[in-house]
Amino acid sequence: MNDSELRFDTINLGHGSGGMMTRELLDKLIFKTFNNSFINQKHDGSIVKFAGKIAISTDSFVISPIFFKGGNIGELAVNGTVNDVAMCGAIPKYLSLAFIIEEGLKMEEFQTIVNSIKEAADKSGVLIITGDTKVVERGKGDKIFINTTGFGEVHPKANITTDRIMYGDKIIVNGYIAQHGMAIMSDREGLAFESNIVSDTTNVNFLVKDLLDTFGDKIHFFRDPTRGGVASVLSEIATDINKGIAIFEDDFPIEKQVAAACEILGLDPLYVANEGVFITIVDAEIAEEVVALMRKDEKGKNSVCIGEITNEHPSKVVMHSVIGGKRIVSALIGEQLPRIC
């Protein structure tokens, strides 16, 4: 056996003991993969330096299945937190990484996840600088849970808060919605439907940086509509700012196959989760330029303006339907439940 190879085919309780087995897992997989001057200190934490304001965001990833069309829980854990930091108007720099693994997870699967994390971190330009690995007994977890915390430097031109959202501001989305949630749905057991829908999980931090470099504080707000979808995020914003939001059904970017899958399952794409989508709310006078800039980027090529902030119906989101009717769009209550017929 090669000395650099891991000796076990599955993760067992020993890998979380803090002893020799943990050390072997860290040395042969974690440190070897992430290999940077911070993590190589092999200390309990890392010391980093920032010039100015810092944005911090944390998120836990508990998705099932852990491998799905278009990605796995590893890259999701990086992209999700990287994007959350970016949504604060910051440039993500560092991530912490903590695993809670259920004993019995195949080592090969764990390696794949760790490699995906490394790849996603490289793509986003962030370093994994500290972490933790725990193993729980079989039945006390769901294969693997990952927590990441992201640290980013706030962009010098950024001023992102809900207070800055004004009447007349335009709401722009960077691409097709509902892809991630429907990809997960189609991979979930018990749902006998097949599709080629792939998750949209990706990092959007460079596109966000471009927008801030170019338009500065005329960009008033960013938000990524992950769980609860676009509807829940807009609904929360409308309540927070006590202003109305008007959105237009005709303008919503939805890929045909996703729309069809939603129809079949009786789900509203507005409430379905996204992972590579963000919403930006911008000064009306730059809206067209913003869309034009975003469309030049691979991650914004389907960007479109979907609505605006209005002084009508304060704190409510109103959807203007294709046929000219209106309806209130409220936040998701619990999980979105498929209808009977």
- Three-state DSSP class for 82? helix
Is 32 one of the binding residues for another protein (CB under 8 A)?
Answer: no
Spatial CA neighbour of 114 closest among 152, 144, 82, 83:
144
Is 166 one of the binding residues for another protein (CB under 8 A)?
Answer: no
Is 314 one of the binding residues for another protein (CB under 8 A)?
Answer: no
Instruction: Find the angle CA(301)-CA(302)-CA(306) to the nearest 5 degrees.
Output: 135
Beta bridge partners of residue 90, listed in sequence order: 154
Taking contact as CB under 8 A, which single stretch among the options 126-134, 186-194, 291-299, 300-308 is the one that binds another protein? 186-194
Going through the chain in order, the beta strands assigned E by DSSP cover 54-61, 67-68, 71-72, 90-102, 127-136, 144-154, 170-173, 219-223, 244-248, 279-282, 304-310, 317-320, 326-329
Pull the structure tokens for residue 84: 């959350």
Binding to another protein, residues 216-235 (CB under 8 A): none
What length is written for the chain? 341
Is 341 one of the binding residues for another protein (CB under 8 A)?
Answer: yes
Both ends of the chain: CA-CA distance in Å?
A: 58
Is 324 one of the binding residues for another protein (CB under 8 A)?
Answer: yes
Decide whether 82 or 317 has the Cβ nearer to another protein: 317
Is 140 one of the binding residues for another protein (CB under 8 A)?
Answer: no
Nearest distance from C-beta of residue 101 to another protein, angstroms: 24
- Contact map string, positions 268 to 297, toward another protein, x by CB under 8 A: x-----------------------------
Decide whether 48 or 328 has the Cβ nearer to another protein: 328
Site for another protein (CB under 8 A): which residue of 69, 157, 295, 316?
316
Site for another protein (CB under 8 A): which residue of 192, 194, 242, 298?
192
Contacts of 60 (CB under 8 A, 6+ apart): 145, 146, 147
Decide whether 95 or 237 has the Cβ nearer to another protein: 237
Decide whether 240 or 250 has the Cβ nearer to another protein: 250
Site for another protein (CB under 8 A): which residue of 253, 265, 292, 299?
265
Burial zone of 292 (CB within 10 Å; 0-12 exposed, 13-18 middle, 19+ buried):
exposed
Nearest distance from C-beta of residue 253 to another protein, angstroms: 17
Nearest distance from C-beta of residue 50 to another protein, angstroms: 41
Contact of 228 with 160, CB cutoff 8 Å: no
Decide whether 24 or 249 has the Cβ nearer to another protein: 249
Decide whether 14 or 65 has the Cβ nearer to another protein: 65
Nearest distance from C-beta of residue 65 to another protein, angstroms: 16
Query: Which amino acid, one-letter code, is at 270?
Result: L
Cα torsion at 330, 332, 334, 337 (round to 10°)?
100
Alpha carbon distance 71, 198 (integer Å) = 8
Decide whether 272 or 329 has the Cβ nearer to another protein: 329
Binding site for another protein (CB under 8 A): 190-193, 263, 265-266, 268, 313, 316, 319-330, 333-334, 337-341
